[in-house]
Amino acid sequence: MTFSDDRPTMIEFKDVHKYYGDYHALRGINGSIRAGEFFSLLGPSGCGKTTLLRTIAGFEDISSGVIMIDGKDMVGVAANVRPTNMVFQSYAIFPHMTVEENVGFGLRKDPRSKEDKARAVAEALEMVGLKGFGKRAAHALSGGQRQRVALARALILKPKVLLLDEPLSALDKKMREHMQVELIKLQRQVGITFILVTHDQEEALVMSDRIAVMFEGEIAQLADPETLYRRPATRKVADFIGTMNFIPAEILSESGDAVEVEAKGLGRVALDIAQAPAKTGETPVVGLRPETLTLLYDDQKAPERETDGVIDEVIYFGDMTYYDVYLGGTDVEVRLSMRNVPGRPVLDVGTKVRVAWSPSALVLFR
Amino acid sequence: MKRAPILRGFTLFYLLFLYSPILLLPIFAFNESKVMAFPLQGFTLTWFVEMASDQNLRNAAKNSLIIALSVATLSTVLGIFAARASVRYRFPGKAPLMSMIMLPLVLPEMIVAMALLVVLLSLNIPLSLFTVILGQVLICTPFAVAILTSAFQSLDRSLEEAALDLGETPWSTFRLIILPLVMPGIMASFLICFTISFDEFIIANFLGSGQPILSVYIFGQFRFPAKVPSMLALGTVLVCFSIILLGFAEYMRRRGIAKAGGKDSGGFL
The average pLDDT across A103-123 equals 91
Per-residue pLDDT reduced to its tens digit, A336-357: 999 998 888 899 999 999 999 9
Q: Cβ separation of A96 and B181 shorter than 8 Å? A: yes
CATH superfamily, with its number, for domain B70-260: MetI-like (1.10.3720.10)
pLDDT > 70: what percent of chain A?
A: 99
Q: Cβ separation of A79 and B161 shorter than 8 Å? A: yes
- Which residues 6+ apart lie within 8 Å of A123 measured at CB? none
B10 band by pLDDT with thresholds 50, 70 and 90 = very high
- Please report the DSSP string for A295-318 in residue order: EEPTT---SSEEEEEEEEEEEE-S
* pLDDT value at B89 more than 90: no
Per-residue pLDDT reduced to its tens digit, A140-167: 888 889 999 999 999 999 999 999 999 9
Per-residue pLDDT reduced to its tens digit, B201-244: 888 888 887 778 888 888 888 888 777 888 888 888 888 888 88
Per-residue pLDDT at B258:
67
Per-residue pLDDT at A354:
93
Q: Determine which of A107-111, B76-80, B162-166 has the lowest per-residue pLDDT on average.
A: A107-111
Per-residue pLDDT at A1:
43
Q: Determine which of A73-77, A115-119, A359-363, B26-30 has the lowest per-residue pLDDT on average.
A: B26-30
The average pLDDT across A126-141 equals 88
Q: Find, among B222, B232, B229, the residue nearest to B201 by Cα.
A: B222
Domain map of chain B by residue range?
70-260
Per-residue pLDDT reduced to its tens digit, A161-205: 999 999 988 888 888 888 899 899 999 989 999 999 999 999 999
B259 band by pLDDT with thresholds 50, 70 and 90 = low
SS (H, E, C) B135-204: HHHHHHHHHHHHHHHHHHHCCCHHHHHHHHHCCCCHHHHHHHHHHHHHHHHHHHHHHHHHHHHHCCCHHH
Per-residue pLDDT at B43:
77
User: Phi-psi region for residue B188, left (φ > 0), alpha (ψ -120 to 50) or beta?
Assistant: alpha
Per-residue pLDDT at B269:
43
Look over chain B and give the mean of its residue pLDDT values, rounded to a whole number: 85
Q: Cβ separation of B167 and A86 shorter than 8 Å? A: no
User: Which among A92, A95, A157 is the nearest to B260, CB-wise?
Assistant: A95
Which residues of chain A neighbour B262 with C-beta distances below 8 Å?
95, 139
Higher pLDDT, B249 or B198: B198
* pLDDT value at A4 more than 80: no
Higher pLDDT, A28 or A257: A28
Nearest chain B CA: its distance from A77 CA (Å):
12
Q: Cβ separation of B168 and A95 shorter than 8 Å? A: no
Domain A289-357 has what CATH class? mainly beta
CATH of A9-230, one of 3.40.50.300, 3.20.20.210, 3.20.20.370, 3.20.20.140: 3.40.50.300
* pLDDT value at B264 more than 70: no
Per-residue pLDDT at B268:
46
| Whole-number Cα distances in Å, B99 to A58, A198, A340, B95, B196 | 33, 40, 67, 6, 21
Which residues of chain A neighbour B162 with C-beta distances below 8 Å?
86, 88, 92, 94, 153
User: Which among A89, A94, A157 is the nearest to B159, CB-wise?
Assistant: A94
The average pLDDT across B235-258 equals 80
The average pLDDT across A263-269 equals 91
Q: Cβ separation of B166 and A139 shorter than 8 Å? A: no
A310 lies within 8 A of chain B by CB: no
A15 band by pLDDT with thresholds 50, 70 and 90 = very high
Q: Which residues pair with A313 in a beta bridge?
A: A324
Look over chain A and give the mean of its residue pLDDT values, rounded to a whole number: 91
| Cα nearest neighbour of B261 on chain A | A139
Interface of A with B in 120-159 (CB under 8 A): 137-140, 153-154, 157
With beta carbons less than 8 A apart as the criterion, state whether B103 and B143 touch. Answer: no
Which residues of chain B neighbour A138 with C-beta distances below 8 Å?
261
A101 band by pLDDT with thresholds 50, 70 and 90 = very high
